[in-house]
Structure 1
Amino acid sequence: MTTVLVTGASGFVGRAVVAELLGRGHRVTAGSRHGEAVGAAQGVRLDVTDPGSVLRAVGEVSPDAVVHLVGIIAEQGDQTFSRVHVEGTRHLLAATPRGARFLHMSALGAGEIAGSRYSVTKGEAEALVRASGLNWTIFRPSLIFGQGDDFFGRVLKELVSAAPVVPQIGDGTFPFRPVSVEDVAQAFAGALDRPEASGETYTLTGPQEFTFRELLDLELAALGRKKPVLPVPLSLMNLAVPLMQMLPNPPITRDQYAMLKAGNSAPGEEARAAFGLPMHRLQDRLPEIVQGR
């Protein structure tokens, strides 16, 4: 039985990873800022931006493996990309026992998307992991879907529901290959049972690629709605997005806009073969996601 500390355990992905690890018989401690239990996993207070908090949590658990899932998609106050993704990872790496496994959740396109601090800091965190001297594995998921997800269950749902017409960014051809939260959880748990996963970086993507326009159509169909889709030229979006940042809660941040234009797709066959992933299909799950069932 492996003793595992999961950071970000109370989040959307964290809950799925904790459940998968428990199902495989591991001893799991759920790390989060409030220290709540997650399922049958005992909770521990762990704020990755506070090195003292990290040292106390790791010392209390004495883990054989650390699964690092903490991340943010938008900056708020002192919770910046650099502070959470880079410094948070640095604190956790320094506290992790030298003989422990370190499984790190990065993001597809980490360090590769111009104009995105999210992408830049994800790339910087990866570099820290690779230089740590620990027994590491890095995962780079695409958009993650599942019950309670933020993108398909909220952002895209609001986009297609808010107005009589659905705004489409540019020509809508940006490619995406969403992956299910169950596939992501199985990959993380499977890596603990696969020594040859050490020192490897795996892309986590689903079985099918969609354009942004196709995602809008799928979302509308799942909601049982029919609306016209109105393309918004990138030249207009380039002017509008900076102005949106003056709003208290902008509908899209600069980082999100940069990442949408870049798309989010890559082959995922290596991870599927390595960890025996079932490769759930977005279109099969979307109705229950948008309806909150």
Structure 2
Amino acid sequence: MTPDSIVFGAAGFIGRSLVAELLRRERVVAAALRGPADRLTSWLAGQGVDTARLTVVTADIAVPGLGLGAAPDLGRVRDVYNTAARFAFGLGVAEARAANVTGAVNVADWAATRQGLRRLVHVSGYRVSGGPPDYRRDGAYEASKREGDAAVRARAAELGVPLTVVNPSSVTGEGQFIGLASVVRDLWRGRLPLLPGDGRTFLPVVDIGYLARFMAEVPGHEETAGEAYWVLDDRTPNLPELAGLLAAHLGVRPPRATIPVPLVRRLPRALTGADPETLSFMSGDRYETAPALAFAERAGLRMPPVEEMLRTWADGLVGAGFGEGEAPRGPYGFRDVAGSRTWVAGERESPRYVLLHGLPLDARSWAEVSESLDGPVLAADLPGLGRSSPARSLGEWTEALLEPAGTRPVLVGHSFACGPVLRYALARPERISAVVLLAPAFLQAPAGWPARSAFGAAVLRGTSPARLAGRLGVPEGALADLRRPGAARRVIGAMRAGYAAREELRRALGRAEVPVTIVTGAADPLVVGEADVVIEGAGHYPQLTHPRRVARVLREAAGRVLPARL
């Protein structure tokens, strides 16, 4: 099949989403990119996109002819999309201009050679209308985008190329970790006590899915030729309200106040943490969106509700560790559970297994175990730990977490979490089918458990997560959120509470009315009672070191009971 569309910058955040949208519309697409093809194809596969109509070609927009000499037949390409750009702050002028100016003009030149060209769609930026480029004032990125916008329009007019310019604002969606994402990251990590700007500061957003659909529609409508569209959501809250919305969703403190941008510019960057290039975006400017909205209306396009979209995006940012990891599979995000903004991953209404983590871990510690289980899994960060905010009562929280479940799951606790698991089993035996206690701290030797342990002291001294992970023999990612404000002290508080409850839990163990399986690592023995399963070669964290063996134990526990629906 000969491509009818080509997307330059196809492996980028906007480009790959556009490729996916075009393929879903059964277009035959050439994806032009510089790097390995699997950067794009693996992402498309993860999105469930059929790539039978996709051709990947190597290109370099910074050189005349775009480096397409050995490319397959592109003679029938009628729609040319340029989503390629260098989006970063701190760029050198030459580096920024190579992609954002020279490269953009090269694409226009190449498009002019297409005999059946229907449209060149060029992705610019929403702040390109602020006058001529000023590299000293605006920085290399914004200035080069402004220069490139003018250069492409001039070259298209000179060559008679039918051009449509799309000017998106900050684009949000799964996998977007730059731009406004830095505000979310700083909120999450407690590093945003003051917001640059004022009550009028407007950082508009647009959903990546909507933008891709908008761009895919453009070439099929004659009236879009020669137009420039500002594609953004006018309903985006002003920055203070936006930050407050996100803070409430994440369960963190919002910024206390705003600080004028001119003052931020005068303060040392080491003090403010603000990149000077980002400050020009902190303005109250509004944009002419009526033409884009009118076209979208004619094309049957609707933006998703902006507040809902922002919350979903924030969940994705936290779930993926702001680009340092991978988001969990299935549904996930922050939910209200007994007064806690709780991180929940998996199925709340019909779980076969409910997995609660120990210290100092979070729900990510169950990832490999979950992949080997034979039914829906619910995992959550305990209140005040991991990504969850504190709750009034751990018992109330456990009850509220499981309240939506319409099944009788196997309830699994690791270490500290064996306490709330056992208490729930005693209080609500009719709602669960079995209990598995993995490395139950209340049955183990006390020396390594309370806050006076070497681990507790290291946490309070501010030892890095990497060094702590090495001491514990766990992946560094398992302690990713230990440096959030108050996180270390909450871990120590949980340690102390667990130590104080040891005798109570030991007495309670014999009163359980559901089957209980106790599992330990061979290097982490019990001092009270005997384990039902001992995992050779494992220590206190067998779910991390021997996940398949732990999963088998859980499957066996589930297989001995009938997890009927309630």
User: Is TM > 0.5 for Structure 1 vs Structure 2?
Assistant: yes
8 Å CA contact retained: 2:200, 2:283: no
SS at match of 1:44: strand
For normalisation by structure 2, the TM-score amounts to: 0.47
**Structure 2 residue 311 is the aligned partner of structure 1 residue 287:** yes
Q: CA deviation at 1:217?
A: 1.0
The answer to whether the Cα contact below 8 Å between 1:30 and 1:42 also exists between their aligned partners in 2 is yes
Alignment of 1:118-267 (within 5 A): 118-131=141-154, 132=156, 133-151=160-178, 154-163=181-190, 166-240=193-267, 243-244=268-269, 251-261=273-283, 263=285, 265-267=287-289
Partner Cα separation in structure 1 for residue 58 and residue 284 of structure 2: 36
Q: Say whether 1:27 aligns with 2:28.
A: yes
| Cα separation, 2, equivalents of 1:58 and 1:94 | 17
Shift of 1:270: 2.8
Q: Identity over aligned residues, as a percent?
A: 24
- What is the Cα deviation at residue 72 of structure 1? 2.6
Structure 1 residues 165 and 192, CA, compared in 2 at 3 Å: closer, same or farther? closer
Q: Which residue is 2:517 aligned to?
A: none
Partner of residue 105, structure 2: 90
Q: Which residue of 2 aligns with 1:72?
A: 86
- Bigger Rg, structure 1 or 2: 2
> Match of 1:81?
96
1:103 corresponds, among 121, 126, 150, to: 121
CA displacement at 1:91 relative to structure 2: 1.4
Higher mean alpha-carbon deviation, 46-55 vs 182-191, is at: 46-55
Letter in 1 for 2:216: A
How far apart in 2 are the matches of 1:156 and 1:228?
11
How far apart are the structure 2 equivalents of 1:231 and 1:55?
49
Which has the bigger relative contact order, CA under 8 A and spacing at least 6? 1
CA distance in 2, matches of 1:58, 1:92: 15
Cα offset for 1:103? 0.5
Q: CA deviation at 1:233?
A: 3.3
Task: Specify the code of the residue in structure 2 equivalent to 1:280.
Answer: P
Q: Distance in 2 between matches of 1:57 and 1:77?
A: 31
C-alpha contact 1:54 1:91 (8 A) present in aligned 2: no
Q: Which stretch has the larger CA shift, 89-98 or 256-265?
A: 256-265
Distance in 1, matches of 2:10 and 2:259, equals 38
Query: Which residue identity is paired with 1:257?
Result: L
Root-mean-square deviation (CA, aligned residues, Å) is 2.8
Q: Is the 8 A contact 2:202 2:283 kept in 1?
A: no
Q: CA deviation at 1:223?
A: 1.3
Deviation at 1:189, TM superposition (A): 0.6
- Is contact 2:190-2:253 (8 Å) kept? no
Q: Is the 8 A contact 1:112 1:119 kept in 2?
A: no
Instruction: Work out the CA distance in 2 between the residues paired with 1:211 and 1:184.
Output: 21
CA shift for structure 1 position 180: 1.0
Q: Give, in whole Å, the separation in 2 of the partners of 1:266 and 1:160.
A: 30
- The amino acid that maps onto 2:153 is R
Q: Aligned partner of 2:123: which letter?
A: M
Count how many residue pairs are aligned between Structure 1 and Structure 2: 288
Change beyond 3 A, Cα 1:156–1:173: same
Given the alignment, which residue of 62, 66, 82 partners 1:49? Answer: 62
Q: How many angstroms does 1:86 deviate by? A: 0.6
Q: CA deviation at 1:264?
A: 5.8
- How much has 1:51 moved relative to structure 2? 2.8
Shift in Å at residue 4 of structure 1?
0.9
Measured against aligned partners, the alpha-carbon deviations of 1:15-66 in whole angstroms (never above 9, x if no partner) come to: 2111111111211111111141443233222222233544437775332221
Q: Partner letter of residue 151 of structure 2? A: L
The answer to whether residue 290 in structure 2 is matched with residue 270 in structure 1 is no
Q: What code does the residue aligned with 1:259 have?
A: F
Is the partner of 1:218 in helix, strand or coil? helix
Cα gap change, 1:214 to 1:93, in 2 (>3 Å): same
Give secondary structure in 2 for the equivalent of 1:61: coil
Supply the distance in 2 between the matched residues of 1:140 and 1:44 (Cα, whole angstroms). 26
Show structure 1 runs of 5+ residues with no match. Answer: none
More displaced, 84-93 or 41-50? 41-50
Shift of 1:78: 7.5
Deviation at 1:187, TM superposition (A): 1.1
Regions of 4+ moved over 6 Å: none
Counterpart Cα distance in 1 of 2:260 and 2:102? 37
**Deviation at 1:166?**
2.8
